[in-house]
Amino acid sequence: MNRINKKLQEEQKMLSIYFTAGYPEPEDTVSIIQDLEKNGVDFIEIGLPFSDPLADGPTIQESSTKALKSGMTTNKLFEQLKGIRDSVEIPLVIMGYFNPILQYGVEKFCKKCAETGIDGLIIPDLPVDVYNEEYKSIFEENGLQNIFLITPQTSEERIRFIDSVSNGFIYMVSTASVTGSTSGFSEETRDYFKRISAMKLENPQIVGFGISDEETFNQATEFAKGAIIGSAFIKHLNANGKDNIADFVKNIRPV
């Protein structure tokens, strides 16, 4: 069984952290992953930096630009992650835009992910219909789960379709926004959480966008299986460096 499915069977609400590979420093990738696991994080999304990240707000954009400037590449990420499964057990997902993966070669990329011990991919600008027609078999051959996004505007019919194509979890975007741009959830957003929960989808949902602290984490996971934190973690790294990851995790989910 894929590590993602196994993890999702556990009782607790999932805390998932996103960070940009090669940030703050090019060689920080592995130690940040190890630290996050040590501090009890359930999932990690490793951001593959891209020059033009359409769905991301300023915080993640800047971290990507900086990582690229200091020489981060797809090859370098795979080199860094070589042997990661000797020290890390939790599910690892790569989140990246489609163009760098297309240039690397989708099949080669998926093979490399499988060799490295990556469990899934989140590719925001690879639409579900294109994935379904052209790439699904490649992902499956390599044991990779592709994670799709839904938003408050996604129609019920489309959510059902996405659910039928998914086999890990569904990434539920909390509000119509780019990453890092909201503070606190409105009544309307919580109604959306309830509405999706009531659909009783096959795949559990993990909420992302707008989660930055214990309160928003708890609100997001009231109806969903877990939540993803990205921009807030990058901001923490900016302010505190990578030595205080324990504090950050404790502030979200006190032991």
Partner 1 sequence: MSYQANEKGYYGDFGGAFIPEMLYPNVEELRSQYLDIMKEESFQKEFKDLLRDYVGRPTPLYYAERFSKKYGTKIYLKREDLCHTGAHKVNNTVGQILMAKRLGKDRIIAETGAGQHGVATATVCALMGIECIVYMGEVDIERQAPNVARMKMLGAKIVPAKSGSRTLKDATNEAIRDWINNPIDTHYIIGSVVGPHPYPDMVARFQAVISEEIKVQLKEKENRENPDYVVACVGGGSNAAGIYFHYLDNPEVGIIAVEAAGKGIQSGESAATSALGKEGIIHGSKTLLMQTEDGQITEPYSISAGLDYPGVGPMHANLFRSGRGEFISITDKAAMDAGQELAKLEGIIPAIETSHALAIFEDRKFKEDDVVVINLSGRGDKDLSTYIDYFDL
Q: What residues make contact with partner 1 under the rule CB under 8 A?
A: 50-55, 57-58, 61-62, 65, 68, 73-75, 97-104, 124-128, 130, 148-151, 153-155, 158, 173, 176-178, 181
CA distances 66 to 59, 130, 142, Å, are: 11, 31, 31
Whats the size of the chain, residue-wise?
A: 255
Q: Is 56 a catalytic residue?
A: yes
What is the nearest approach in angstroms of partner 1 to the Cβ of residue 38? 31
Q: If 0-12 CB within 10 Å is exposed, 13-18 middle and 19+ buried, where does residue 68 land?
A: middle
Give 158 or 190: the residue with its C-beta nearer to partner 1.
158
Give 133 or 187: the residue with its C-beta nearer to partner 1.
133
188's CB contacts (< 8 A; 6+ apart) are 152
Chain-centroid distance, C-alpha 80 = 19
Which position has the token pair 């420093």? 25
What is the nearest approach in angstroms of partner 1 to the Cβ of residue 40? 30
Q: Which helix (H) or strand (E) holds 45?
A: strand 43-48
Give 57 or 143: the residue with its C-beta nearer to partner 1.
57
Give 161 or 223: the residue with its C-beta nearer to partner 1.
161
CA distances 157 to 16, 114, 168, 201, Å, are: 27, 32, 19, 12
Give 87 or 103: the residue with its C-beta nearer to partner 1.
103
- Say how far apart CA 168 and CA 212 lie, in whole Å: 24
What is the nearest approach in angstroms of partner 1 to the Cβ of residue 192? 13
**Active site residue: 37, 42, 56, 163, which one?**
56
**Active site residue: 28, 35, 42, 45, which one?**
45
What is the nearest approach in angstroms of partner 1 to the Cβ of residue 64? 9
223's CB contacts (< 8 A; 6+ apart) are 193, 194, 196, 197
Q: What sign has the CA pseudo-torsion 34, 116, 14, 180? A: positive
What is the nearest approach in angstroms of partner 1 to the Cβ of residue 135? 12
Which residues does the annotation mark as catalytic? 45, 56
